[in-house]
């Protein structure tokens, strides 16, 4: 049975490696841990099998980041449950009548997963494209 805890996993880079993402330095991991508004880890017994976190201002803007389910546990509803629990946490920060904004950047070809949870694809008639830029210190200029 899969259980969920509102915390970061013990080894974030293990999750990142499992899906082919680059590793973070210890300094980056420390910053991510300190500045996450909340996070969730899915467990199969003691084994950490899924992880996601939220950064933001804690009142209006929330950004879901680093949604990862280990490949051997994908397509079991774990990602959907983590997302639903994170959205509930974000909404609990609002007072009655307040609207919050939850943003994310989908990994390639994962857009249908997020659409199934009510997220809208951008651009659309109301909103422009989400955008990303990666900078590597010592290799590029701003």
CATH number, span 2-115: 3.40.630.30
**Confidence band, pLDDT 50/70/90 cuts, at residue 141:** low
Of 114, 33, 1, 128, nearest to 67 by C-alpha is 114
17-26 b/e with 16+ CB inside 10 Å = b? ebeeeeeeee
**Confidence band, pLDDT 50/70/90 cuts, at residue 140:** low
The residue-averaged pLDDT of 56-84 equals 96
Sequence ranges of the domains in the chain? 2-115
Q: What is the CB-side half-sphere exposure of residue 131 using CA atoms within 13 A? A: 4
pTM above 0.85? yes
pLDDT tens-digit profile of 105-124?
998 899 999 999 999 999 98
Torsional sign, CA 50, 17, 21, 139: positive
Strand, coil or helix: 119: coil
**Confidence band, pLDDT 50/70/90 cuts, at residue 8:** very high
Poorest-pLDDT segment among 66-75, 79-88, 119-128: 119-128
CA distance 34 to 28: 10
And the tokens for 120?
């809208």
CA dihedral 17, 22, 28, 33 (to 10 degrees): -40
Tokens 């974000």 sit on residue: 90
**Confidence band, pLDDT 50/70/90 cuts, at residue 25:** very high
Give Cα 32 distance to the centre of its chain: 12
């Amino acid at each position: 049975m899969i259980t969920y805890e509102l915390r970061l996993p013990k080894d974030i880079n293990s999750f990142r490696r499992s899906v082919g993402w680059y590793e973070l330095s210890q300094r980056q991991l420390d910053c991510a841990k300190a500045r996450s508004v909340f996070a969730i880890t899915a467990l199969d017994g003691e084994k950490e099998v899924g992880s996601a976190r939220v950064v933001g201002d804690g009142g209006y803007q929330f950004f879901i980041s680093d949604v990862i389910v280990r490949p051997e546990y994908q397509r079991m509803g774990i990602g959907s449950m983590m997302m639903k629990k994170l959205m509930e946490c974000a909404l609990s920060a609002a007072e009655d009548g307040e609207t919050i904004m939850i943003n994310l950047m989908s990994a390639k070809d994962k857009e249908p997963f997020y659409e199934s949870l009510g997220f809208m694809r951008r651009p659309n008639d109301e909103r422009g494209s989400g955008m990303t830029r990666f900078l590597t210190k010592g290799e590029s200029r701003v």
